[in-house]
Chains A and B, each alone.
Chain A
Amino acid sequence: MGRRKEVELADIVVPPLGDVQEVRVVRWLRDVGDEVEAGEAVAEVEAEKATFVIEAPVKGKLFAILVPEGRTAAPGEVIGKIAEKGDAE
């Protein structure tokens, strides 16, 4: 077991989509605790008539969903967190 290591948390951010002030999180494609690969689709947001896929910035475990389905977020906002090291052993 040994000492607990720091768990690095990476932000899942809504990227700038170009003149869009607000998006709605329409679905999370992964649940908290799921392993995700870097670049894997983790969420879908919608603005106007566009579905935009949010990808995992790093490989790890989906640690937290900060903006649940149906809620809105602004570009630049953190909507979830990925733990880069799954186990703190």
Chain B
Amino acid sequence: MKRILWVSLGRVRYHKALEIQRKLHSLRGKGEIPDTVLSLEHEPVITLGRSADPRHILADPAYLVAKGVDLVEAERGGDVTYHGPGQLVLYPILDLRGWKRSVKWYIWALEEVMIRVASSFGIAAGRLPGYPGIWAGDRKLGSVGIYVRSWITMHGLALNVDLDPDGFEFIVPCGIHWAKATSLSSLLGRPVGLGEAESRAREAFAGVFGVHPVEGGLPEAVAA
């Protein structure tokens, strides 16, 4: 079975994670590193994808600064989203030629990872046609947003594990006005540790992508 590198970074600012992703993306393109998954949570940040409508940021910029929320433009697909502590973020840096040259399949696979994690907690989450991400009823539990160049991926998925849902009040998630966010812990009525969610996500990722994730640190060229 194909081995991939699984790197847990803990809590990382968005900019820092983006810098790491870009380096990994370039190295993966040159074949210098294996397929790698970054697992982390972000400090509070609102990101604008390529199709972002700035009107979907509801909060006053001064208020965001006061709250310590960063505002960042990202090259991933999609509209506006929020990341914050208690949300599990996976950034797979994969050469999709090793699986399938299909962005649709890849998004399906990322959604599948999140559906399996939710299911392992006894939560029935699913897809909503036309609205990528995963949903528990009409509430959004997880998001996807990816970037592909030369079939090498960046960005990925964000699963709401145990985060303060107030963060989503700053924005219109994905530009969908009726979309309210939920989390595994809200649905279960108990706290869920990010570590627990991550280990289940690693297992789900292994199953969906048919790989053996090996935990390790960042490749030397990136860590420096």
Contacts and interface: CB of A to CB of B under 8 A. Distances in A.
Interface of A: 16-20, 24, 26-27, 41, 44, 46-53, 55
Contacts of A50: 77, 103, 106-107, 146-148
Contacts, number: 70
Interface in B132-151: 132-133, 143-150
A70 to B, nearest CB: 10
Interface of A is mostly: strand
Given A18-B105, A49-B146, 19 more contacts: A17-B101, A19-B102, A41-B149, A46-B50, A46-B51, A49-B76, A49-B77, A49-B107, A49-B144, A50-B107, A50-B146, A50-B147, A50-B148, A51-B76, A51-B147, A51-B148, A53-B148, A53-B149, A53-B150
Nearest to A20: B104
Contacts of A48: 77, 103-104, 107, 132
Given A50-B146, A52-B148, A44 B105 contact: no
A24 B107 CA distance: 17
A47 to B, nearest CB: 6
B104 A44 contact: no
A16 B104 CA distance: 11
B77 A16 contact: no
A12 to B, nearest CB: 15
A16 B49 CA distance: 22
Nearest to A23: B103
Chain A to chain B: the 9 pairs with minimum beta-carbon distance, closest first? A18-B102, A53-B149, A50-B103, A51-B77, A19-B104, A49-B77, A26-B50, A49-B78, A49-B132
